[in-house]
Structure 1
Amino acid sequence: MVQTRAAHSRLGRLTLTAALVALAATVSAPGAHAAALPSVVPVAETPTLHDDEAGGNADADDPAIWRDAADPDRSLVIATAKEGGLRVYDLDAREVQSVPAPTPPGPDDAPGRFNNVDLVHGLRLSTGRADLAVTSDRGNDRLRVYRVDPRRAGGPLVDVTDPKAPPVFSASQQETNEQRTAYGLATWTDPATGRGYALVSQRERTRIGLLELTANPDGTVGYRPVRTLDLPASFRLPNGTDWSPCAEPGELPQVEGMVVDPANGTLYAGQEDVGIWRLRADLTGTPHLVDKVREYGVPGTYDEESEECVAGADPGFGGERLAADVEGLTLLREADGDGYLLASSQGDDTFAAYDRELSDRNEYEGGFRVGAASATLDGSQECDGAAVLNEPLGRRYPHGLLVVQDGHDTPGATERPSTNFKFVDLGRVLDALDD
């Protein structure tokens, strides 16, 4: 069964990630840097999700923040829960809608699995302009599209996916079942043409695809491929040797976290075990590596029996601020054109901030962690996705909002895998970065 293979693959990935985190602690010694960073605390958290049969195989991953311009207090957070589909939360972090992932087409096929989500604002449909939530369905290798209708009874999300939408990367259902499928996602609207796009990464590969969103006469939304770009899988080090991140056989260093700066059409892409890339959102031109993870250049050999990497000596070619994996990327835009690129440094439970201005080459501006607010409201550990909105959101968040995934929702947790999302007052983050 594909579900069994997928579960085994996920388990292997978790084992390997744990090994790399241990490697970061012993080889690259990130503790001093992380300990020196300021801590901000969340204001609220969403209900706990459990990635087991009793919890509906729901696993919090990636959020997006939708602002209700008519009534900012009624703004929403739309978030993926993998096999649990989508969750929609109000600003008190209460669930207002649960959207299931699609059922598998056959008994031996992979189920729907929503990985990342992003928003498209004001796309012209046959029914008028609409805001859309676009999500990558890793299980079916497709994009799914939902119109945001905040006044709709029963929940704000309405499925408008073209039922004929093709796979993003797979040529057959068999390839889809192997799960080298649509993974990370970021949306982008070209200001020159008004056309909406989705940038989608491929799981266990270095490929990023550019898809144009297309509006159909019946009100549904499809997509068509424009071009693809492959990031490097191997790197020449200053000592003249070639290096690739340690991984299970056949896996290449994948990308997940992505975000586009709408002001200049710049895509930032997090290659999990390598670092953060900057490139054009239309996937033309040459990518530039903004920053590297600490583990960059550390040789490793994958041991089949233990499902762990055996590390060699650190040659000292890695970065100083990111501990693998690089995960959620989000853009904090300020009114004067300044702002920050925020990146989740999953290996040491911190967040790094880089200058948004290209003229400054995205210089590192500081970092922070999301710590516990109380005995019952913990912080964020091993964060996957993150989203930020630097606009007033009513009385709860007049300075804006940062939402981060928590990979270990700890208070009251049992042995069950427990995840959720933390809501952080953006004013606290800006104060921490200004200190």
Structure 2
Amino acid sequence: MKYSLVTTLLCSLLPIMGCHAQKTTTTTVNINPLFSEPAFSGKQGVMLSGEEPKWLLTSESKGLLLLDQQAQPLSRFNGNFETLTMRENVLLNEEQSTLIATIDNEHNTIKLLSLKQDNTFTLQSSLPFEHSQLESLCLFRQPLGDISLFAVDAVGEVHQFIIYNAKQQHIDIQPIRSFVGVPEVQGCAVDDSREQLYLVEGNIGVWQYDANPESDPMRTLIVAANPFGQLQGDISDISVTAEGSVWITTPENQQLHVIQPITGLYQSITLDGLTEPETVNVTLHNKRFQAVVFDAVQDSYWQVDDLKNIVPQKLLKTTTLATISADVQTDPVLRFGDAADDPAIWVDQQTPANSLILGTDKRVGLMVYGLDGALLQSLEIGRVNNVDVRQHSSINSPLNTIITASNRTKSSISVFELDEQRSVHHVGEIATDLGDIYGLCMYQSDSGSYVFVNDKDGRYQQYRISATKPNIVAKKVREFALPSQPEGCSADDRTGKLYMGEEDAGIWQIDAEPNPSAQASRIADVGDILKDDVEGMEVYHGQNASYLVVSSQGNNSFVVYGLWDDYPILTNFRIDMDLTNGIDGVSETDGLTVSAAALPGYPQGVLIVQDGRNQLPQQPQNFKVVDWRKVQALIEQSDHVN
């Protein structure tokens, strides 16, 4: 049968909507009854893709029901189910399947099922949920093909799990993170293409979050219900189509609404003939939207065959960065929050396996780890921010090593040594007159051992360390400034150049020798690739060339510059999760370090980075170790490398 469908173009509820006028149009579409059965107690349905239409429905009494194009049952999976989320074209043991997640109401568990092409259901896993009563689920296909699941409970907590390993083509359940969502959630959905999670708070509106596991759970209200916005009635459900259109239902006024974040379109669609359209699932087939709506009063499913007056969005072109994964991660620091900051590496030239990773915990002090990531020492000497190390025959200490760190508790430079047993010892402080000491890096040359420290006001100071025993002897030999706040820096001992990051502007270079007439010059600007804040950086000396690796914190990536004419960008990449080894990706990196020294398992050395969000599972921050060969492989693909 046909019903009248009234479409209203409303003014923008929020800036994302992007319209300014109000216009009302009326059109007619096909709305057909799809399925009903006495005491079926349905809730959610979805149309599957394919040449012959199929529908998947939930029922509290009959479980999951698969229907053919005549709405006749093809197969069933028994149980008491209401919630339904799925992703098609999932390879499980080289067989194409539809992956389904639903809530088992009887046992408060998450059921993961596969629906094969022969229409049979297979239970892949049953995940007990002990946090609270489950309310909503939604799946997210991540950029590299892995699939994660958002589970929202009755107290508003959102729990994200990895459930599918695309590389291994099997179910792999690992907790990623948890965060506070919305109370009494009515529904959730994910836009895979834009990596956006949507949660419905019925009487408030729809909240948008970043779905990426390495993101902060910041939220934006994209549509608000009265009295907070113009939308009339509580929202009961949400669906997102492949190109990013967001669809919501308001049962009180029998309306379906569509929001297009890219085009700014907002439309309200009145579904005449339905009493209480509680849930909706919209799919895009052959460039046309088709919806399955469940009417709670009539306990029946309905099909909206053609929403032809609504044009699908064109997806924005996005640049996909190359990704690599970490090989080892350190133990987490002691507490949650912004704590871990900057790493350095001491190489044991006699027994490389005994090399040490030094990492700052800016709430506690200096941490010392083995190459396997295990914590070996904790030196609680104050809020140390950045750390660096130099090894040189001219350094008068047991292992010809000096370690320094910027100490924000004392506005000083903390100095450390290594003993014969490879234990780190704090030997004292070098006082500075900086008001807010911040970044630090070291430089070694024939003229001595130097430390550069900076202040948030842009000032740099350079100190020469002449001795550490019996007392520390140090002298300030130079001071200069960048226009605004710096932090990360790295000195190239071979060329005598100091590279400095100005967080909001770019990368600078100046002579590292204490020449008072030397002038700094900017060699790289923030932009599309290098995104502020510019954070940690370090020079890597390869067999044939030298590079500068920089943390591009604004887009959770790393940029590699060639240290030759014009400083070309050779590659930029992200560090993604390694599900097989249970190591999460890297984001919000502050400090980093590199070493070209051959180490066990790392013949070309390592890249070590701070991880601002340590997930899989959620833990305090830590440091990640990457085999340099992975970075070098990306560099070799550059047009600037001969």
Q: Same fold (TM over 0.5)?
A: yes
Match of 1:365 in 2: 570
Match of 1:92 in 2: 372
Match of 1:392 in 2: 598
Counterpart Cα distance in 2 of 1:32 and 1:118: 41
Alpha-carbon spacing, 1:215–1:410, altered in 2? closer, same or farther (3 Å):
same
**Higher strand content, 1 or 2:** 2
Match of 2:449 in 1: 196
Match of 2:280 in 1: none
Q: Deviations over 1:340-389 (max 9, x none)?
A: 101000010110111112xx121211211111111731011010000111
Matching residue's letter, 1:401: V
Match of 1:352 in 2: 559
1:328 to 514, 529, 536: 536
Q: Secondary structure at the match of 1:151?
A: coil
Matching residue's letter, 2:481: D
Counterpart Cα distance in 1 of 2:567 and 2:466: 33
Matching residue's letter, 2:438: Y
Structure 2 spans left out of the alignment, 5+ residues: 1-215, 221-261, 263-315, 638-642
1:169 aligned to 2:433?
A: yes
Counterpart Cα distance in 2 of 1:32 and 1:161: 54
TM normalised by structure 1 equals: 0.70
Does the aligned pair in 1 maintain the 2:399–2:420 contact within 8 Å? Answer: no
Match of 1:412 in 2: 617
CA offset at residue 400 of structure 1? 0.9
Counterpart Cα distance in 2 of 1:84 and 1:58: 12
Match of 2:332 in 1: 48
Q: Secondary structure at the match of 1:161?
A: strand
Matching residue's letter, 1:392: A
Counterpart Cα distance in 2 of 1:332 and 1:79: 19
2:467 to 209, 215, 224: 215
1:380 aligned to 2:586?
A: yes
Counterpart Cα distance in 1 of 2:487 and 2:397: 33
Matching residue's letter, 2:369: Y
Q: Secondary structure at the match of 2:400?
A: strand
Counterpart Cα distance in 2 of 1:380 and 1:126: 37
CA offset at residue 150 of structure 1? 5.5
Counterpart Cα distance in 1 of 2:404 and 2:365: 12
2:523 to 290, 296, 300: 290
CA offset at residue 37 of structure 1? 2.1
1:36 aligned to 2:320?
A: yes
CA offset at residue 434 of structure 1? 1.5
Matching residue's letter, 1:161: G
Q: Deviations over 1:54-98 (max 9, x none)?
A: xxx781100001110001111111111112211111111111111
Does the aligned pair in 2 maintain the 1:40–1:432 contact within 8 Å? Answer: no
Matching residue's letter, 1:85: G
Match of 1:73 in 2: 353
Counterpart Cα distance in 1 of 2:359 and 2:420: 16
Pairs aligned (count): 325
Percent of pairs identical after alignment?
31
TM normalised by structure 2 equals: 0.48
Does the aligned pair in 2 maintain the 1:161–1:222 contact within 8 Å? Answer: no
Matching residue's letter, 1:79: G
Counterpart Cα distance in 1 of 2:406 and 2:377: 19
Matching residue's letter, 1:60: A
Q: Which runs of structure 2 are paired with 1:231-250 in the superposition (5 Å)?
A: 231-232=482-483
Counterpart Cα distance in 2 of 1:408 and 1:129: 35
Alpha-carbon spacing, 1:214–1:353, altered in 2? closer, same or farther (3 Å):
same
Alpha-carbon spacing, 1:217–1:64, altered in 2? closer, same or farther (3 Å):
closer
Q: Which runs of 4+ in 1 moved over 6 A?
A: none
Does the aligned pair in 2 maintain the 1:169–1:202 contact within 8 Å? Answer: no
Higher RCO (C-alpha under 8 Å, 6+ residues apart): 1
CA offset at residue 390 of structure 1? 1.2
CA offset at residue 127 of structure 1? 5.6
Matching residue's letter, 2:556: D
CA offset at residue 46 of structure 1? 1.0
Counterpart Cα distance in 2 of 1:90 and 1:363: 34
Match of 1:225 in 2: 476
Counterpart Cα distance in 2 of 1:127 and 1:344: 32
CA offset at residue 38 of structure 1? 1.1
Counterpart Cα distance in 2 of 1:325 and 1:363: 20
Does the aligned pair in 2 maintain the 1:62–1:80 contact within 8 Å? Answer: yes
Does the aligned pair in 1 maintain the 2:397–2:417 contact within 8 Å? Answer: no
Q: Secondary structure at the match of 1:377?
A: coil
Does the aligned pair in 1 maintain the 2:443–2:493 contact within 8 Å? Answer: yes
1:339 aligned to 2:546?
A: yes
Match of 1:146 in 2: 416
Q: Which runs of structure 2 are paired with 1:20-35 in the superposition (5 Å)?
A: 35=319
Q: Deviations over 1:26-65 (max 9, x none)?
A: 9xxxx977x432111001111222545xxxx781100001
Structure 1 spans left out of the alignment, 5+ residues: 1-17, 102-111, 171-179, 233-252, 294-318
Q: Secondary structure at the match of 1:223?
A: strand
Does the aligned pair in 2 maintain the 1:325–1:347 contact within 8 Å? Answer: yes
Counterpart Cα distance in 2 of 1:254 and 1:326: 10
Does the aligned pair in 2 maintain the 1:124–1:215 contact within 8 Å? Answer: no
